Every structure is written in C-alpha cells, then in structure tokens.
Chains A and B, each alone.
Chain A
C-alpha cells in the first residue's frame, strides 16, 4: 500500500461499495427468492410450461407423497398455456408468458394423475402432457392402479377397420322428431352402431310401419336420450377444448392444427388424410360408441390423433362421444 496517495480511505470506501454491489446485491436477490419460494410445511415445485417444440412441461413427471402440502409455481416461457387436474383440485385457466401462477393443493388421493395443457398453445399442443404421481409411502403400489382393459379390447373390436354404415339417411335425423316415435333399443346401445339399430328396427316386423326417415329420427332420439343433455353439453365443452383444433368446429376434420396430419392414411394409403370427418354419415353411423371410445382413448398410432386414456375419465369419453353424434344427428339448437 506504500504507493497509495492520501486517498487510501476513499479507496477502501469505494471498494467496499463495489464489493457490496458485486456480492451483496446478488446475495440479496438470492435471499429474497429463497424467501419467496420456501414456505414452512409446504413443498414448492416450480414448473415451466413450454410449447411441445420447446420441451413441454418441465418437469413433466412430478412425484408427491400422499397428504403432502404442495405449492405449484407455474410459469410459461413462450405462449399462454393452461393446467387442470380436477382430481387434485388444480385449475389454472391461463398461464401467461413470464408470469408465475401459484396453486396450492393437498394430495389426498394416491394414484397417477395425468395432465395436459388446456390451451391451444401450438400445433403440437396435444403432445404437451405430464403426470402427477401421488405415492402413499405406506403402500406405494397403490399409486399404480391396474386399469381394466378398454371395452373395445374386451369386445374384440378392430377399431382400425373400416366401419361403413349399412344404410344412411337421406336427411339429417332429428332427435326432436324422433321423440314422437320413441322406440326402445334392445340391448346395450353403446355396443351397437346407429345403423345396426336402424337395421334391427327396420327388420322388426312387430313394429308398426315407419318410414326410413322416421326410424332414423328415432335412432337420433335414442342416442340423445342415452347420453343426456347435460353430458352432451359437457362433451361439447371438452370437444371445443381438446378436439376442435384438429377436427374443426364443425366436425369436418378441417381444424387448423390438423392440416398436415396424415390421419388414417398413415395406416391405409387408400384412406383420407387428415383428422376424421364427424359429419361423414357413413362412418359415424357405422361406428358404435365403444368403437369411438376405443379410437379416442387409444389414439391414432401415428395418424396424429393423440391418446386420451391417460387424461379422460370414462365419463369424459362418453360425454364427448355423446356430443360427436350431434354432427350427424340434429339435437336441436346449440348442439
């Protein structure tokens, strides 16, 4: 220090200030963030939502213990995303880019709880999935419940085979007109296609004479009655949220996100490219609910159709199918 001029003191003061800026300032920032993210008795988990092309959910697999208090801090790095896990009471309608959304929950049920982005974030939106696994420390196997085989497998239905209707109506069947006829379906409606039911009624000599149009109206009514108005409305909301981007609002398979998808042509080059057209009477009336359920829950195996088994409950599936029928059946205003 011998070469210092009289200003040694000011050098020390200035050095201390600069050291505070370089060391103290970042330390203060770090401490503040630690204080923000550490809550006594609560495990804080940071999740970043990215469009699938940028990595999807990070992390996409979260393990928590039964009874644990959890705080999810979710931020988006690119566009608006959404997150819902109804079984755990998690509902974040929108995760805005650069914002942090916090949601607290207590994992009261053991099991696997898959989740997906609930906002159409990108073309590959449907790939944006994750899972919360709630483990019961005393019985960890409970977290992996054995699911029953889906109905289409139990019934041995080939959901990839063509399934044209035996007959198609010349006009759109009306459930309202069908209510006036109100025929009963024998057996489980879900395993029969509408055209099967139509054919059965047409062949039933015991029924009073009806025109084809009247019978198709009765078929429409039977499906609407089996689904129920509330379920159809709920299915409509699910369809808008999860299906419309590819299959289109009108169900014609013309949604913007489905433009470059191979569709069933990935399995059979003779078939049409792109998402299924739900307004195609032949294929829709030739398909049973169980067949449609199989297609939805399994997905398209390379066609671009995602699997929904991990995300949808059985009720979700039936509700969506109930609504899908409205593309060929006239269910009345708003459906």
Chain B
C-alpha cells in the first residue's frame, strides 16, 4: 500500500506540530480538566445520570466523538490525549514535557510477562466492564469509580513496569481502539525500513534526550498495523534520521494484508461484535426486561444474564463463526487448518464491528445528545446555570431519521467485511467459496441489526 500513501509530515506545519514536545502535553492539558470534572461529578454530583456531567460527557459526547469521528478517521488519536495514564506516565518520567537525561524512566522496570504480551488481558478487562456496562453507563458513581480505578491501575502499572504497559496490555478501551484503528486512514510508519535496519542505536525504541523510546513498546520499523501504535509521536521526535512520518492512507489499509493475524485479536473482534449486538438488543430492542435484568446486579436473573452474556462472547458467537469457517473450508476444500482460517477470517468482522458500534451509538447519541447542553451549564446537578443552558429541554436529534444514517453505515461495514473475507481466501490461495459461510454470517448479523434499528 506504500504507493497510495501521502506523507502528511511533508507539510511543514504538521511536522512542526508533531515533533513539538508540547504536543502530547497540550492535548492532555485539554482533556484533563474534563476528566477531572467527570470524576468529581461522578462522586459528588447528582446520581441522576442524565443530569450528571460524568455520564453525559463520557458516555454520550466522548463516546460519539470516539466512535463516529476519532476511530474511523484518526485511529488511536484518542490514546495520544487520553488523561487516564498521564499521572503514571509523568511520575514514571518525573517530567511533564522535557525528558530527563537520556529519557530515563523512574520505574521498578519489571518486564511485562511474555505470556501476557497480547490482548487477552484487555479482552478480559473489556468483558468485565461490558458485563456491568448498563450500571456503569447510567450510574455516575459507578462510572467515576471505574474511571478512577483505571487511573490507579495505570499509575501502579507505570511504577512497576516499563513504559505504557497499562495502555498496551490492560486498558479495556485501548484494545477496542487498537483493533478498529486498523480501519483509519492515517498511520505513523517509518519511511524506509532498510534505513532502520542499518541504524544500530534504535533510538526510536530506547529513547534519547530528544524524546522517549516508544512508550507503547513498539519498534516502529516493525510496525505494520495501527493496533499497537498510540500515535504519541515520540518516534517522530527521537528518530535522528528523520525516517518516521505520519501518513494519510486508504481506509482499512492494515487489513489488506493477512500478516500477523492472531487469536487474541480475533477474539477481540468477536467480543466487540457480540457486545455491539448484545447492547443493541438490550438497550434498543423492545425487551426492556433485559435491560432491567442487566441492571439488577447480583439478582438471580442477573446471574443468568451474566452467564448468557459471557457465553455469547466467549463461546456462542465465536462457535457459530467457527462452524461457518469449518463449513467454508469443506466447501472450498482448503488445505489450511480450520483454526488458522478461523483466525484470519475473523478480521472480516473488524469493519462490520465498527459499523455496528457506530450504528448502535448513533441511536442513543442522537437521542440523548441534548443532555450535553444541560450538564454543560450544570455539571453536578447542583442547580447551576453557567451558560444559560441548564433548562434546555431534552430534544432527540433526527428523531425517527436515525436509520437513514445507520443503514448506510452498516452497509459499508458489511461491504468491508465481505471484501476482507474474500481477500483473505485469495491470500490463502483457497477457493472464494470457502468465504461464503463467513460472509453469510456477516450478512445475517447485519440483517439482525437492521431489523433492530429500522
């Protein structure tokens, strides 16, 4: 895909901004007050979610920005400005902007266990949060507690382990963003890998006075997908050969190759797809009892829900897909192992999954966005009216017309899924017929969502 990239860092102002040491600090200095307000409002403000800044700004405004704008168009941009790990990172660096000598880190320096050098912990963390999501998304205190616990875990992780181990291996949202950032039309990549190969010092990985070694534990020259690049731009600052750049590229370029596909990432795709469907059924479908059951944590019905939710994510949906792949293998008479084909075909679910999340998010974001004006003026629900918008009435935007957006989004996601499924078959040199059952899976999944939304 190298030929179809455009190097954005050729634009002088872009380059200047990206190599500035102020960049990431400035971004987090903007998000930090919002985050602080989210935590304070969650702990001290009204328990009424729709009138609490913590709920409305995280789960409606930020979520809308993340799913509908940042992820599809800027990949992991959020990770570059996320306030959650910065306290730990600043302590680890004992600096905010300017690195200490040789970019020294003040940490116990434990190496992250090799066995956990994957997405599995993020999958588990995401499932744990997702299981309680109905409570977390509607209860300010619970939401603040979860976010504050992320900060604490990130802080402890920073002091124990090197670099951003929390972001890379633990953050539940990080795994989500990482998987879908493969679809974004931007990437940080080296310009010439051969040049990196000849450069012994590997300063982009070890750091220098100009900047830190990759906080995400990635060697930029080996980077061939966005999944693990936090877009912090440290490598642009440290590379003495000016061999790292920010590129514009076609959407989903990372998925054009089947190199490096892994079971942990495949499972992330299943979990995200299943959660998108589960939430759509639970929160948008006509079965309000499901939502009430999911909310009643600890009640007998909730345990059934929990078992069903986890089983769907871990076994049922992946199992159905595995059966589809097995059937496809039989139809296509493919020589590849079913397990390997299962992993590779699962990447077709990446565009479909993001489309499902975008469609699902649209349904509640458009309906509830008007709460943002209220909490902007009265973030704690204490009767403030800072900007005169506290009493603006709740108004669903595009009421009744949401499906006009949802349907095309799902269609684009489905087309992307079909293209990747067929391309994967081609890359494996097996008959395209082998892709038909996974394609049918994607079509049925999309139709189910269309039925729910329309």
Q: Which residues of A contact B (CB under 8 A)?
A: 3-8, 10-11, 14-15, 17-18, 21-22, 25-26, 29, 32-33, 36, 73, 75-78, 97-100, 102
The 4 closest A-B pairs by CB, nearest first: A98-B51, A100-B383, A7-B98, A98-B48
Pair A97/B97 contact, Cβ less than 8 Å? no
Interface contacts beyond A10-B21, A18-B29, A36-B383: sample of 15 additional A-B pairs, CB < 8 Å, sorted by A = A3-B100, A3-B101, A5-B100, A5-B101, A11-B95, A11-B96, A21-B33, A25-B37, A32-B384, A33-B384, A75-B382, A76-B48, A98-B46, A100-B381, A100-B382
- Among B48, B90, B99, B100, which residue has the most Cβ atoms of chain A within 10 A? B48
Q: Which residues of A contact B95 (CB under 8 A)?
A: 11
Task: Report the bound CA distance from A219 to B415 in whole Å.
Answer: 81
CB-CB under 8 A for A102 and B21, given A17-B29, A21-B33: no
Which of B40, B96, B98, B380 touches A5 (beta carbons < 8 Å)? B98
- 18 pairs, CB–CB < 8 Å, chain A vs chain B: A3-B104, A7-B98, A10-B22, A11-B97, A14-B29, A15-B96, A29-B40, A29-B380, A32-B384, A36-B382, A36-B384, A73-B383, A77-B48, A78-B47, A78-B48, A98-B48, A98-B50, A99-B51
Q: Which residues of A contact B36 (CB under 8 A)?
A: 21-22, 25-26
Q: Which residues of B contact A77 (CB under 8 A)?
A: 46-48
Complex: chain A residue closest to B140, CB-CB:
A98
Shortest Cβ distance from residue B292 to the other chain A in the assembled complex, whole angstroms: 15
Does chain A have a CB within 8 A of B52? yes
Q: Which residues of B contact A5 (CB under 8 A)?
A: 98-101, 209
Shortest Cβ distance from residue A50 to the other chain B in the assembled complex, whole angstroms: 9
Task: Report the bound CA distance from A22 to B97 in whole Å.
Answer: 17
Task: Report the bound CA distance from A75 to B32 in whole Å.
Answer: 29
Interface magnitude class on chain B = 20 to 34
Task: Report the bound CA distance from A22 to B87 in whole Å.
Answer: 11
Complex: chain A residue closest to B99, CB-CB:
A5
Q: Which residues of B contact A78 (CB under 8 A)?
A: 47-48
Q: Which residues of A contact B47 (CB under 8 A)?
A: 77-78
Pair B381/A75 contact, Cβ less than 8 Å? yes
Which of A4, A14, A99 touches B100 (beta carbons < 8 Å)? A4
Pair B33/A33 contact, Cβ less than 8 Å? no
Does chain A have a CB within 8 A of B397? no
Task: Report the bound CA distance from A47 to B98 in whole Å.
Answer: 49
Does chain A have a CB within 8 A of B25? yes
Q: Which residues of A contact B40 (CB under 8 A)?
A: 26, 29
Shortest Cβ distance from residue B136 to the other chain A in the assembled complex, whole angstroms: 18
Shortest Cβ distance from residue A81 to the other chain B in the assembled complex, whole angstroms: 12
Instruction: Count CB-based A-B contacts (< 8 Å).
Output: 81
Complex: chain B residue closest to A22, CB-CB:
B36
Which of A7, A25, A98 touches B97 (beta carbons < 8 Å)? A7
Complex: chain A residue closest to B386, CB-CB:
A32
Task: Report the bound CA distance from A16 to B170 in whole Å.
Answer: 30
CB-CB under 8 A for A97 and B51, given A17-B29, A25-B33, A77-B46: yes
Q: Which residues of A contact B101 (CB under 8 A)?
A: 3, 5
Complex: chain A residue closest to B41, CB-CB:
A29
Q: Which residues of B contact A3 (CB under 8 A)?
A: 100-101, 104
Mask, B203-247, CB within 8 Å of A = 1, is 000000100000000000000000000000000000000000000
Task: Report the bound CA distance from A14 to B24 in whole Å.
Answer: 12
Pair A98/B52 contact, Cβ less than 8 Å? yes
Complex: chain A residue closest to B50, CB-CB:
A98
Task: Report the bound CA distance from A281 to B25 in whole Å.
Answer: 79
Task: Report the bound CA distance from A170 to B32 in whole Å.
Answer: 77
Q: Which residues of A contact B104 (CB under 8 A)?
A: 3
Cβ < 8 Å to A, chain B residues 368-401? 380-384
Complex: chain B residue closest to A76, CB-CB:
B48
Task: Report the bound CA distance from A14 to B32 in whole Å.
Answer: 13
Pair B21/A7 contact, Cβ less than 8 Å? yes
Q: Which residues of B contact A76 (CB under 8 A)?
A: 48
Shortest Cβ distance from residue A49 to the other chain B in the assembled complex, whole angstroms: 11
Pair B48/A4 contact, Cβ less than 8 Å? no
Which of B25, B99, B209 touches A14 (beta carbons < 8 Å)? B25
Task: Report the bound CA distance from A33 to B101 in whole Å.
Answer: 44
Which of B96, B380, B381 touches A99 (beta carbons < 8 Å)? B381
Cβ < 8 Å to A, chain B residues 289-341? none
Pair A14/B381 contact, Cβ less than 8 Å? no
CB-CB under 8 A for A75 and B383, given A11-B95, A22-B36, A25-B33: yes
Task: Report the bound CA distance from A21 to B98 in whole Å.
Answer: 19
Pair B51/A14 contact, Cβ less than 8 Å? no
Pair A21/B32 contact, Cβ less than 8 Å? yes
Q: Which residues of A contact B209 (CB under 8 A)?
A: 5
Q: Which residues of A contact B382 (CB under 8 A)?
A: 33, 36, 75, 100
Cβ < 8 Å to A, chain B residues 86-136? 90, 95-101, 104
Q: Which residues of A contact B37 (CB under 8 A)?
A: 25, 29
Task: Report the bound CA distance from A78 to B90 in whole Å.
Answer: 40
Complex: chain A residue closest to B49, CB-CB:
A98
Complex: chain A residue closest to B45, CB-CB:
A98
Shortest Cβ distance from residue A214 to the other chain B in the assembled complex, whole angstroms: 56
Shortest Cβ distance from residue A201 to the other chain B in the assembled complex, whole angstroms: 57
Shortest Cβ distance from residue B381 to the other chain A in the assembled complex, whole angstroms: 4
Task: Report the bound CA distance from A29 to B384 in whole Å.
Answer: 11
Complex: chain A residue closest to B86, CB-CB:
A18
Q: Which residues of A contact B383 (CB under 8 A)?
A: 36, 73, 75, 99-100, 102
Q: Which residues of B contact A4 (CB under 8 A)?
A: 98, 100
- Among A4, A75, A98, which residue has the most Cβ atoms of chain B within 10 A? A98
Q: Which residues of A contact B22 (CB under 8 A)?
A: 10
Q: Which residues of B contact A36 (CB under 8 A)?
A: 382-384
- Among B95, B101, B383, which residue has the most Cβ atoms of chain A within 10 A? B383
Task: Report the bound CA distance from A307 to B64 in whole Å.
Answer: 50
Complex: chain B residue closest to A6, CB-CB:
B98
CB-CB under 8 A for A10 and B381, given A77-B47, A97-B51: no
Task: Report the bound CA distance from A45 to B95 in whole Å.
Answer: 45
Task: Report the bound CA distance from A241 to B151 in whole Å.
Answer: 49
Pair A18/B96 contact, Cβ less than 8 Å? yes
Shortest Cβ distance from residue A197 to the other chain B in the assembled complex, whole angstroms: 53
